[in-house]
Amino acid sequence: MLLLGNSEWLLIIDMELKPEDSAVTLGKTPFGIIGVRMAKTIGVNDGGGRIRNSEGAVNEKEVLWKQAKWVDYSGTVINEKLEGITLFDHPDNPNFPAYFHVRNDGWMGASLTFDEPKIIRPNEPLNLRYGLYIHSDMKSIDAIESQWKQFSQIDVKE
């Protein structure tokens, strides 16, 4: 976890997937490996929020199953107060930029095996890193991009 200014913060999720004895296949599916279910008031349908990605696309129709460095979901949590979460993919992840699975009903996920399955062997663990940027306002694309850049440069070490 990394503290940012104005009570914003960054959650970094590191994973090491390592089978115990035999190879494991993660099948081709848009579901997985990380999901974020947004507050009802932030969802596009329920709350009038907005989905945006790093490529300038907006909402489910444009963002769903598209590759991006990040997807941001912002909306209101209290009246006249916009806040949101950006889901960051990391350049060291094998399928970067990831396909994002998003819905106007209020969720987003980064897919690891959208286009092809992934085999993980016991001696070759799969390391993954994702970030959640918890921020105020509906941040400009540039502001999010700059935050993503910082995230992408954080050393992937213990």
Q: Which residues sit at the interface with other proteins, rule CB under 8 A?
A: 1-4, 6-9, 11-15, 24-40, 42-43, 46, 77-78, 81, 83-85, 105-107, 112-113, 117, 132, 134-136, 154-155, 158
Nearest to 77, CA basis, from 47, 50, 52: 47
Nearest to 93, CA basis, from 62, 72, 66, 68: 68
Rounded least distance, CB 68 to other proteins, Å: 18
Instruction: Count the Cβ atoms, other than its own, within 10 Å of residue 15.
Output: 15
Q: Which residues are within 8 A (CB) of 124 and not within 5 positions of it... i.e. 6 or more apart?
A: none
Rounded least distance, CB 36 to other proteins, Å: 5
Tokens standing for 56?
């300038």
Rounded least distance, CB 111 to other proteins, Å: 10
Choose between 30 and 143: whose C-beta lies nearer to other proteins: 30
Choose between 42 and 98: whose C-beta lies nearer to other proteins: 42
